[in-house]
Amino acid sequence: MVKYLGEQLSGIVSSVNGWFQSYGYHDVKPPIIYGDVSRPNTMTVFWSSTAQSIPRQSMKEVLIELVTTLNWSFVGINQPRHERCYQIVLAIKYEVKDLEKASIKIDAAIKAQWNAKFAERVNYKEEAAELKSIITRGLPFGWEKALSTCTPKGPAGATKNLFQQNIDTFVEVLPGFLGGSAGLASYNMILLKMYDDCQDTSEESNVRFGVKEHGMGAICNGFGLRILGQIPYFVTFFVFTDYMRAAIKALGSAIDDCNNIGILCGHIPDLERR
């Protein structure tokens, strides 16, 4: 099963050792994890649906040990194991959801054991709260308390400076918060000071979109729809939204499934200089 998962998930590659097998040796092929792991397509829905449709065909449950999937693989020395394990968990979670949508029956005893095991998450309060917010696409309790406050009597501050303060606060309470701007990151002051660029290391949170707004919008939509727990944001001038109109329309049609944040700002150089 580990080999099969390695063939289905992106970010994992399996070697081919036909020459080795031709000499009669037993061949064990652990997958090689070389990058971010995700599930581009369903993996077992077709086979499960086919098996369930055959009369009097008994179906045996398959137990997928997620840590085993990781530990039986070769993980690149530059790959953070905790991140890859987390991604494998999410990939299998999506697969289970698709199996449920396809009306694949789950053995009652197996389901009861799973529910009992899942109830043990209360022993890990912080991790349980984070898991709940990811599964429900919600926000951690009390996240708004981390926001900066402004009052009429408080010191004056440029809007961009205040925004910079808030996004640096967001990333401390929202683990999946990431994003950037299409060539305007430094100007709009939206880089997360706690992180580097995710192009260099995948667990970082600053995304360099280049200079194309339509590409930025499409990438954020992909983050929000395909990667559970991510809260992607993009920043650009309002006048530039014409370039990403298609991406914004696509986001609007799937707004219930996305946590995307779009920040649109005005470009008034005269006032900014003052």
Model pLDDT for residues 43-97, shown as the tens digit of each residue: 888 888 887 777 765 556 665 556 567 777 777 777 777 778 878 888 888 888 8
Q: How far apart are CA 199 and CA 126, in angstroms?
A: 29
List domains and CATH numbers for the chain: 2-123 (no CATH), 143-273 (3.40.50.970)
Q: Strands 177-181 and 231-237, how do they pair?
A: parallel
State mean pLDDT over 244-256.
72
99-142 pLDDT, tens per residue?
A: 888 887 766 777 788 778 778 877 887 777 777 776 676 777 77
Strand partners of residue 231: 177
Query: Over the range 192-227, which residues count as b (16 or more CB within 10 Å of their CB) and which as e?
Result: beebeebeeeeeebbbebeeebbebbbbbbebbbee
Question: In terms of Cα–Cα distance, which of 202, 221, 253, 237 is closest to 10?
Answer: 202
Q: What is the residue type of 264?
A: L
pLDDT of res. 175: 73
On whether the CB atoms of residues 238 and 265 are closer than 8 A, the answer is yes
pLDDT in tens, 28-48: 566 778 788 888 888 888 888
Cα–Cα distance between 8 and 110 in angstroms, integer? Answer: 24
CB atoms within 10 A of CB 98: 17
Tell me the range of 5-19, 124-138, 153-167, 173-187 where mean pLDDT is highest: 173-187
pLDDT at 9: 81
- Whether residue 215 is predicted with pLDDT greater than 70 in this model: the reply is yes
pLDDT level of residue 3 (50, 70, 90 thresholds): low
Active site residue 213: yes
Residue 273 — left, alpha, or beta (φ > 0 → left; ψ -120 to 50 → alpha)? alpha
Average of per-residue pLDDT across 139-165: 69
pLDDT at 188 over 60: yes
The amino acid that residue 24 corresponds to is G
Residues 6 or more apart in contact with residue 171 via CB below 8 angstroms: 177, 192, 194, 195, 205
Question: Which of 95, 172, 213, 272 is the catalytic position?
Answer: 213
Q: Distances in Å between the alpha carbon of 49 and those of 17, 54, 92, 96, 97? A: 32, 9, 17, 13, 14
Q: CA nearest 147: which of 124, 118, 108, 174? A: 174
Residues 6+ apart with CB under 8 A from 99: 44, 45, 48
Whole-number pLDDT of residue 271: 44
Give the three-class secondary structure for 193. coil
Cα separation, 220 vs 74, whole angstroms: 30
pLDDT of residue 61: 60
CA atoms of 155 and 175, how far apart (whole Å): 30
Q: Among 21-25, 46-50, 58-62, 228-232, which is the least confidently predicted range?
A: 21-25
**What was the pLDDT predicted at 29?**
63
Q: In Å, how far are 2, 107, 125 from 256, measured between CA atoms?
A: 33, 31, 27
- Nearest-CA neighbor of 62 among 30, 94, 96, 33? 96
Position 272 confidence tier, pLDDT thresholds 50, 70, 90: very low
Q: Look at residue 19 in the predicted model and tell me its pLDDT.
A: 46
Could you tell me the pLDDT band of residue 152, with boundaries at 50, 70 and 90? low
> What's the pLDDT score for residue 153?
65
